[in-house]
């Protein structure tokens, strides 16, 4: 058996053990026989609130967010499990018009591939803005046979609520949606109703993942995404999307007793990361005056990691120029795209 085969076998065995533990005898559920589970893709154009929606449904921040479009670059699974269901959300990059850079092509491909093997699609739109990229996304969805729920996000921004019904009617005439529901991901409005609606479309089946699991992504990946979010937020519009983060070292040090002092030291994870930009001027912006910006990025990222991972983090950041990485197929592959 190869190392890859062994890893896959161990992963499958762990899932089987988790599912077996979830049931009394492998056939009778502990918590009701009507348990539902399935995959739900969250799609839409950039910057309509897909990641915010998933984070608020999960009650935990997994997918990074910012006001800049195309913040999400990878498919991310967020897993919500309770007594009667397990919803595996698939957060995707925003589908947008094809651009010249290779990274944009890969992001569009990742979003479209997310539609494979899902049970339901949430098509998220902005309540006040219907754009060309919305139509592009709808064209892609029309090529599938999946049930599609239209989620009208930011419904709290519609001051006259009586206008929501005509808006929903207008959307319903554009496509044969399985359901239409207005929500506010940021404010948490009607998310309980959306969760119930999602569950009604999922098949009867045992949990797909360990009920304690919240994502299929590694801590290394989550750490790199947190760092990238903090840079995008700190730099405003000064730094475009020509930046990425590579985790160079991720080392866990368990709690231990100091041999010299005899005192117990808490568990800590040491993380070294490199921030790649495409031009020297961008490096200067990311670092900031006398290193002030990169220092604050490190503090903010470390606090988020400690909250998510539940342990102390020691974070070291470097900024380097890697010209043309976002349009270089080999560079994109080496950076995990």
**What CATH number corresponds to the domain at position 287?**
3.30.300.20
**What pLDDT, in 10s, does the model give residues 188-238?**
899 999 999 999 999 999 999 998 899 988 899 899 989 988 988 887 666
**What pLDDT, in 10s, does the model give residues 15-65?**
444 444 444 444 333 545 789 999 999 988 877 888 889 999 998 888 766
Domain boundary residue, one of 139, 173, 201: 201
Residue 27: what pLDDT? 39
CATH label of the domain that carries residue 141: 3.40.50.300
Q: Please determine, for residue 101, whether its predicted confidence score (pLDDT) is greater than 80.
A: no
**What pLDDT, in 10s, does the model give residues 119-174?**
999 999 887 677 777 787 888 788 888 999 999 998 887 766 676 777 778 778 87
Provide the pLDDT confidence category of residue 73 given band limits of 50, 70 and 90. Answer: low
Range of the domain at 283: 219-334
- The pLDDT of 166-185, averaged and rounded, is 85
Residue whose C-alpha is closest to residue 178's, from 40, 302, 83, 293: 40
Helix spans in 24-163 (H): 50-58, 102-113, 132-142
Provide the pLDDT confidence category of residue 268 given band limits of 50, 70 and 90. Answer: very high
Give the residue ranges of the annotated binding site for GTP.
44-51, 91-95, 153-156
Per the structure, the count of domains in the chain is: 2
Residues contacting residue 288 through CB under 8 Å, at least 6 positions apart: 294, 295, 296
d(CA 264, CA 297): 30
Q: Are 215 and 223 in contact (CB under 8 A)?
A: no
d(CA 248, CA 273): 5
**Residue 197 and residue 154 in one domain:** yes
Least confident of 68-72, 176-180, 218-222, 238-242: 68-72
In a domain, 213, yes or no: no
- The pLDDT of 259-270, averaged and rounded, is 87
In a domain, 206, yes or no: no
Residue 95: what pLDDT? 54
Least confident of 15-19, 107-111, 278-282: 15-19
d(CA 69, CA 48): 8
Q: Are 119 and 89 in contact (CB under 8 A)?
A: no
Looking at per-residue pLDDT, the higher value among 153 and 96 belongs to 153
Q: What percent of the chain has pLDDT over 70?
A: 72
Domain boundary residue, one of 170, 201, 232: 201
Residues contacting residue 125 through CB under 8 Å, at least 6 positions apart: 44, 45, 48, 134, 150, 151, 152, 153, 171
**Residue 55 and residue 151 in one domain:** yes
**Residue 39 and residue 129 in one domain:** yes
In a domain, 1, yes or no: no
Residue 105: what pLDDT? 63
d(CA 115, CA 137): 12
Give the residue ranges of the annotated binding site.
44-51, 91-95, 153-156
In a domain, 269, yes or no: yes
**Residue 181 and residue 106 in one domain:** yes
- The pLDDT of 257-264, averaged and rounded, is 83
d(CA 278, CA 254): 37
**What pLDDT, in 10s, does the model give residues 6-24?**
433 444 444 444 444 444 4
- The pLDDT of 315-336, averaged and rounded, is 75
Q: How are beta strands 120-126 and 148-153 bridged, if at all?
A: parallel
**Residue 169 and residue 43 in one domain:** yes
Residue 48: what pLDDT? 84
Residue whose C-alpha is closest to residue 123's, from 41, 245, 39: 41
In a domain, 6, yes or no: no
- The pLDDT of 101-113, averaged and rounded, is 60
């Amino acid at each position: 058996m190869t190392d890859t085969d062994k890893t896959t076998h161990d992963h499958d065995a762990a899932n089987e053990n988790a599912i077996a533990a979830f049931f009394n005898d492998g056939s009778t559920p502990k918590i009701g026989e009507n348990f539902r589970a399935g995959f739900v893709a969250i799609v839409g154009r950039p910057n309509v609130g897909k990641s915010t929606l998933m984070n608020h449904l999960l009650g935990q921040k997994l997918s990074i967010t910012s006001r800049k479009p195309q913040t999400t670059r990878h498919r991310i699974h967020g897993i919500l499990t309770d007594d009667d269901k397990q919803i595996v959300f698939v957060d995707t990059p925003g589908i947008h018009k094809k651009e010249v850079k290779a990274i944009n092509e890969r992001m569009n491909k990742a979003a479209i591939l997310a539609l494979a093997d899902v049970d339901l699609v949430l098509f998220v739109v902005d309540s006040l803005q219907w754009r060309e990229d919305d139509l592009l996304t709808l064209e892609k969805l029309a090529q599938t046979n999946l049930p599609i729920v239209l989620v009208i996000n930011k419904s709290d921004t519609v001051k006259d609520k009586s206008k929501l019904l005509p808006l929903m009617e207008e959307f319903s005439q554009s496509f044969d949606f399985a359901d239409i529901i207005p929500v506010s991901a940021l404010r948490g409005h009607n998310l309980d109703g959306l969760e119930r609606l999602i569950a009604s479309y999922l098949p009867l089946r045992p949990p797909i993942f360990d009920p304690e699991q919240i994502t299929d992504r590694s801590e290394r990946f989550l750490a790199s995404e947190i760092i990238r979010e903090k840079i995008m937020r700190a730099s405003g519009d000064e730094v475009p999307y020509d930046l990425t983060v590579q985790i160079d070292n991720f080392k866990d040090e368990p709690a231990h007793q100091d041999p010299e002092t005899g005192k117990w030291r808490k568990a800590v994870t040491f993380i070294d990361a490199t921030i790649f930009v495409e031009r020297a001027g961008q490096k200067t912006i990311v670092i900031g005056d006398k290193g002030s910006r990169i220092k604050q990025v490190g503090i903010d990222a470390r606090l988020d990691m400690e909250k998510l991972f539940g342990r102390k983090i020691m974070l070291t950041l470097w900024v380097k120029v890697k010209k043309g990485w976002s349009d270089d197929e080999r560079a994109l592959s080496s950076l995990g795209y």
